[in-house]
């Protein structure tokens, strides 16, 4: 059974043992033989995120007496909340006033009477636990559920009480809570949080171990039966328009820190954020591994650039009519010293998410210029090479200056430089992109709109978007070419683009059937495994060499 902690501070061993004897049937009793030792004990308990419910204090002690101890205790943010009962044999008024004015709560006279002591101690503890001060330490002000620290302590206590029973940490999040707050106001947000707390109590009972940490981060500690009940019912419904998602961590290892247990429940819920039709998710160790991998990749980006672990592949683009090489896309590759080859499909979105993509983009661009300048020096005929510009860089108003400087530094004409900007950058902030695009085009660079068909851009936007080429997204290409031509919108898209003087590249062409269909609808260029996979720079050099021979 879990017991509250009581600290007995007393230098006389016989007295100390007597108190331990009396109290230990009801309490977990810890002892100290003087004030200084007691302060250390309290600090220790506090560091373990546990609480002392009451202190029994002798006044006359060596090293540090009771008054000095009281004074120090009341100066401590946490210690000030612990009720102190002074044990004394000679109750005189002076001592009493002095003790009370130093912050003692009550007296217990010597010799000790077990019943009186137990009774008084229980009363004081009860009183204090219901007082406003302790509320701040235990409860979340808004919802009346526990706060984070106290919840952590309750988890530990539950292990002490019952080591064999399985426990579950369950967290719940409101989808788009921030948005809710912004749209309906903080008060409505608070009401919603209260509503949820109420539902939790109604569903699991008033003595449920539940907490709110911050914002909409709720946590519950459920035992096996509670968890089964919860599982059967799936979720607590608030309103049809408010989506609540749940993350579950089954406590299999009781030795890991409780903070980490809660993090794992959070990880489980975060990984289903925004997913359609998935409202509950249980933590599994692969999530942690994925997170560690992400962290490892993020931490090593600078070093990777410095040590040239990144390099560039080229994927040729061909004319649909005569399969002539008309250009190439530069695609970054990462040879990680520990993980081996890592796909850009993995690290680019990660770097974008954490705002560290710009350094890599710069590096790749310069690498491309270095290659182009080498090819040029060797006397090859160049073809335009397109470079990917990630969203954040697309909004950079110095983009044209950056590329202009590179063309000067490496003596490459701007007409050989194409920039691929993803469709979603246009739909999100068209004004900024249009401005950047006008600057770039003025200098002679070409703009390709990447991933067309994967988002929401409409054809009638093209005329104002300043793009020279659209790149049809791989899924779009593969979907549309699988339909009969009269049912596909491919032809319409391409015709419309041509009317606006925009060329069209199809990406991800893998079969002859796809190529033929693209030819039938007058697509201009193709890129894909059918023609060539992305290749290292020296192989690409061979492709350029062929242009000389056939010229
Ligand atoms: P993306 O810009 O859409 O690039 C095309 C991706 O499709 C490349 O994947 C390419 O290898 C792949 N691909 C080409 N042909 C085929 C095909 O026939 N079938 C299939 N299934 N796939 C094909 P990759 O190289 O893995 O790059 C993935 C994404 O990473 C790129 O998508 C791009 O968004 C990003 N990325 C690559 N390099 C860079 C870079 O240097 N900078 C930035 N910012 N992003 C880059
Ligand atoms: Ca691209």
Question: pLDDT tens digits, residue range 148-204?
Answer: 988 998 888 787 666 678 899 999 999 889 999 989 999 999 999 999 999 999 888
Ligand 1 atom 13 nearest Cα: 508
Percent of the chain with pLDDT over 70: 94
Q: Name the nearest CA neighbour of 545 among 429, 379, 347.
A: 379
Confidence of residue 133 (pLDDT cuts 50, 70, 90): low
CA–centroid distance, 329 to ligand 1, in Å, is 9
The residue whose CA has the least distance to atom 21 of ligand 1 is 508
Q: What is the per-residue pLDDT for 459? A: 64
Ligand 1 pocket member 341 (CB < 6 A): no
Name the pLDDT band for 135 (thresholds 50, 70, 90): low
CA 126 – CA 116 distance, rounded (Å): 15
Residues 6+ apart with CB under 8 A from 192: 174, 177, 180, 238, 242
Give the highest mean pLDDT range of 50-54, 83-87, 215-219.
215-219
Residue 78 has a pLDDT of 74
Domain chopping of the chain, boundaries: 5-138, 148-283, 300-544
Strand partners, 329: 315, 386
The tokens for 488 are 């596909």
Other Cβ atoms less than 10 A from the Cβ of 241: the count is: 6
398-435: pLDDT as tens digits: 999 999 999 999 999 999 999 999 888 887 777 888 88
> Residue 240: which pLDDT band, with cuts at 50, 70 and 90?
confident
Distances (CA, A) of 499 to 71, 241, 504: 86, 44, 12
pLDDT of residue 103: 76
C-alpha 477/C-alpha 10 separation (Å) is 82
How far is ligand 2, taken at its centre, from the CA of residue 329, in Å?
7
Domain 300-544, CATH number (from 3.20.20.450, 2.30.30.110, 1.10.357.10, 3.40.50.1980): 3.20.20.450
* pLDDT bracket for residue 134 (50, 70, 90): low
Mean pLDDT of 326-347: 96
Measure 388 CA to ligand 1 centroid, in angstroms. Answer: 9
453 in contact with ligand 1, CB cutoff 6 A = no
- Whose tokens are 């059967």? That residue is 232
H helix runs in 130-257, sequence order: 132-138, 148-161, 177-184, 186-204, 224-233
| 534 in contact with ligand 1, CB cutoff 6 A | yes
148-283 folds as Alpha-Beta Plaits (3.30.70)
Q: Helix (H, G, I), strand (E, B), or coil: what is residue 432? A: helix
Residue pLDDT, tens place only, 301-335: 999 999 999 999 999 999 999 899 999 999 999 99
Considering the chain, what percentage of its residues have pLDDT values greater than 90?
60
For 5-138, CATH gives 3.40.50.2300
Q: What is the pLDDT of residue 161?
A: 66
- Beta strands (DSSP E) in 285-368 are 310-319, 325-336, 340-342
Atom of ligand 1 nearest to the CA of 364: 41
> Cα of 331 to ligand 1 centre, how many Å?
6
Neighbours of ion ligand 2 (CB under 5 A): 388, 420, 450
CB 67 within 8 Å of CB 101:
no
What separation in Å is there between the alpha carbon of 460 and the centre of ligand 2? 22
Burial of 119: CB neighbours in 10 Å, binned 0-12, 13-18, 19+: exposed
Two structure tokens written together for 441: 């085009």
What is the pLDDT, as a whole number, of residue 320? 96
For the Cβ of 515 lying below 6 angstroms from any atom of ligand 1, the answer is no
Determine if ligand 1 sits within 6 Å of the CB of residue 364.
yes
pLDDT in tens, 77-129: 678 878 999 887 766 677 777 777 777 888 887 788 888 889 989 988 888 77
Residue burial 283-318, b: 16+ Cβ < 10 Å; e: rest? beeebeeeeeeeeebeebbeebeeeebbebbbbbbb
Q: What is the mean pLDDT of the chain?
A: 89
CA pair distance 551, 549, nearest whole angstrom: 6
Asked if pLDDT for residue 441 goes beyond 70, the answer is yes
CA angle centred on 231, ends 226 and 236, rounded to 5°: 90
User: Are the C-beta atoms of 494 and 291 separated by less than 8 Å?
Assistant: no
- Reported as a single tens digit per residue, the pLDDT across 451-491 is 998 876 666 566 667 899 999 999 999 999 999 988 999 99
* Atom of ligand 1 lying closest to residue 313 CA: 25
Q: Whose CA is nearest to atom 41 of ligand 1?
A: 332
Q: Is 331 in the pocket of ligand 1 (CB under 6 A)?
A: yes
The mean-pLDDT minimum among 14-18, 101-105, 184-188, 236-240 falls in 236-240
Distance CA 161, CA 376 (A): 76
Where does the pLDDT of residue 275 fall: very low under 50, low under 70, confident under 90, or very high at 90 and above? confident
The pLDDT assigned to 130 comes to 73
**Ligand 1 pocket test, candidate residues 327, 388, 402, 535, most atoms within 8 A of CB:** 388
3-state secondary structure of 61: coil
Q: How far is the CA of 530 from the centre of ligand 1 (A)?
A: 15
DSSP 368-386: HHHHHHHHHHTTPPP--EE
How far apart CA 219 and CA 146 sit, in angstroms, is 9
Q: Name 54's bridge partners.
A: 6
Question: Which pLDDT score, from 0 to 100, does residue 304 have?
Answer: 96
CA 449–ligand 2 middle distance (angstroms): 9
Ligand 1 atom closest to Cα of 420?
2
Span 241-274, pLDDT tens digits: 888 999 999 998 888 899 999 999 999 999 898 8
Q: How far is CA 410 from CA 138, 305, 406, 446, in A?
A: 65, 20, 6, 18
* Cβ–Cβ < 8 Å for 520, 549: no
Confidence category of residue 212, pLDDT binned at 50, 70, 90 = very high
């Amino acid at each position: 059974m879990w017991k509250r902690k009581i600290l007995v501070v007393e230098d006389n061993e016989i007295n100390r043992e007597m108190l331990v004897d009396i109290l230990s049937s009801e309490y977990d009793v810890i002892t100290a033989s003087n004030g200084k030792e007691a302060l250390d004990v309290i600090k220790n308990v506090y560091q373990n995120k546990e609480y002392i419910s009451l202190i029994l204090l002798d006044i006359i002690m060596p090293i540090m007496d009771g008054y000095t101890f009281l004074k120090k205790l009341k100066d401590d943010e946490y210690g000030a909340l612990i009720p102190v009962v002074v044990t004394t044999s000679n109750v005189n008024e002076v001592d009493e006033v002095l003790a009370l004015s130093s912050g003692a709560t009550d007296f217990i006279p010597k010799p000790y009477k077990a019943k009186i002591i137990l009774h008084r101690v229980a009363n004081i503890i009860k009183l204090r636990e219901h007082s406003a001060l302790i509320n701040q330490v235990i409860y979340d002000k808004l919802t009346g559920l526990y706060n984070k620290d106290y919840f952590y302590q309750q988890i530990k206590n539950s292990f002490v009480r019952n080591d064999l029973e399985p426990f579950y940490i369950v967290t719940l999040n409101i989808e788009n809570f921030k948005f809710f707050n912004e749209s309906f106001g903080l008060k409505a947000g608070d009401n919603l949080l209260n509503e949820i707390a109420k539902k939790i109590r109604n569903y699991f009972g008033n003595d449920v171990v539940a907490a709110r940490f911050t914002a909409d981060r709720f946590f519950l500690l459920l035992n096996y039966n509670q968890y089964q009940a919860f599982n059967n019912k799936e979720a607590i419904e608030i309103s049809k328009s408010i989506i609540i998602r749940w993350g579950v961590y089954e406590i299999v290892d009781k030795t890991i820190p409780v903070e980490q247990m809660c993090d794992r429940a959070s990880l489980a819920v975060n990984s289903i954020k925004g997913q359609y039709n998935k409202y509950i998710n249980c933590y599994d160790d692969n999530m942690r591994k994925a997170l560690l991998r992400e962290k490892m990749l993020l931490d090593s980006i600078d070093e990777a650039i410095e040590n040239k672990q990144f390099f560039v592949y080229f994927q040729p683009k061909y004319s649909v009519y005569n399969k002539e090489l008309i250009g190439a896309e530069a695609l970054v590759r990462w040879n990680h010293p520990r993980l081996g080859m890592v796909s850009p499909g993995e690290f680019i979105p990660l770097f974008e998410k954490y705002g560290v993509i710009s350094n890599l983009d710069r590096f790749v661009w310069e690498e491309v210029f270095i290659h182009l300048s080498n090819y040029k020096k060797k006397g090859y005929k160049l073809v335009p090479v397109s470079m990917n510009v990630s969203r954040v860089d697309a909004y950079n108003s110095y983009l044209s200056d950056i590329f202009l400087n590179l063309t000067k530094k490496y003596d490459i004409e701007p007409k050989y430089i194409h920039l691929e900007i993803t469709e979603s950058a246009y739909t999100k902030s068209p004004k900024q992109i249009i401005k950047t695009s006008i600057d770039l085009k003025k200098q002679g660079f070409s703009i390709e709109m990447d991933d067309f068909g994967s988002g929401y851009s409409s054809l009638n936007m093209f005329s104002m978007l300043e793009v020279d080429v659209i790149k049809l997204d791989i899924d779009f290409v593969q979907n549309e070419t699988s339909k009969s031509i009269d049912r596909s919108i491919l032809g319409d898209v391409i015709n419309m683009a041509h009317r606006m003087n925009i060329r069209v590249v199809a990406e991800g062409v893998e079969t002859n059937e796809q190529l033929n269909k693209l030819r039938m609808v007058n697509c201009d260029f193709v890129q894909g495994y059918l023609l060539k996979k992305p290749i290292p720079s020296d192989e690409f050099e061979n492709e350029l060499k062929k242009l000389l021979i056939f010229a």
